[in-house]
Amino acid sequence: MDLNSILSSIDNVNGKFIEAAQNRLDSLTKPQGSLGRLEEFARQVVAITENPMPALDKKAVFTFAGDHGVADEGVSAFPKAVTQQMVLNFLTGGAGINVLARHAGSDVVVVDIGVDCDFNASAEAGLKTALTSGRTFISRKIVRGTGNMRKGPAMTRAEAENCISAGVGLANEYAEKGYRIFGTGDMGIANTTPSSAITAVLTGRAVEDITGRGTGINDEIWKHKVQVIKDAIAVNRPDPSDAIDVLAKIGGAEIGGIAGLILGAAANRVPVVVDGFISTAGALIAYSIEPKTRDYMFAAHMSQEAGHRTMLEKLGLRPVLDLDLRLGEGTGAALAMFIIEAGLKIYKEMATFGEAGVSEKR
């Protein structure tokens, strides 16, 4: 897939559609602006889709899964095996993302982009059940886990580019199937470590300021995690002006897949709801490659992770929700989809003053 051709097809949203949407919102039976950010969400969906009456009837949250060599450094409270185990949980419908996606009326697409096992060849009974249960599982495996970034690059540049291409391909495929809004999600033990490293490099902030506690590590492990990130940046010397170099040296496969999905969503004029810290690291990679992608993003929520606010400020995005979430998986994206759709329904279904026979403001 030619990334340059994808990038050349991404434009900023057209202000004429924002203006037209605002005119309709101002004609509805309410004081102007009284539904606050719900009106903002509707305007943005109209502008992204260039459709005066868009629909969000087909939704998908893409949960990208990958393992990380830096987990060997003891930076997470959970063992690496949990990545594989949680993929099975997603497929059997028992995870947080499954519950909240059902609530939002969204499909869940589980993408193996870098898990250190071969799910399709596995003989485990649990996986056999999962793969025949009607859940959507897609293998786009680029690596079997990344390298330990404390000792060298997480991926080669070609692998990083292939991760991005895999995400773009999924965006193209699901846009062609008629899906109207995408959400991003992740699963990968230790993936707050590369996400923190990406944040430090692309925002210029100190590692201590943007490194959080991930799965709930204690003070001693947090200090160790900070040092691991500093070592990884020193060893690999990622170029902050080259987002693909950053992704390759200190990133992760699922982060690259998320970046590609966002690029592909923008090229297809599909709104994309970005989940928490790890997903926003992917969004920051996409934005650094093509800043116009920002117009197509909704920030789902404000994570408890220390660096998330820094990334959102860099992107110029204001989160839909602030609920102290830090699970990942796409859970915040599913919840925010529900709210964004509510804003669009107000825009489409609420009566105008003329239709309702209600007197307008004098």
Which residues participate in catalysis according to the annotation? 329
- Residue pair 75/228 in contact by the 8 Å Cβ criterion: yes
- CA atoms of 200 and 194, how far apart (whole Å): 10
**Alpha-carbon torsion (227, 229, 234, 240), positive or negative:** negative
Count the alpha carbons within 13 Å of 54 in the hemisphere toward its beta carbon: 27
Residues forming beta bridges with residue 90, ordered by sequence position: none
- CA atoms of 342 and 356, how far apart (whole Å): 21
Q: HEC profile for 38-67?
A: HHHHHHHHHHHHCCCCCCCCCEEEEEEEEC
Length of the chain, in residues: 362
What's the distance, CA 291 to chain centroid?
16
- Work out whether strand 297-299 and strand 272-274 pair parallel, antiparallel, or are unpaired: parallel
- CA atoms of 48 and 182, how far apart (whole Å): 13
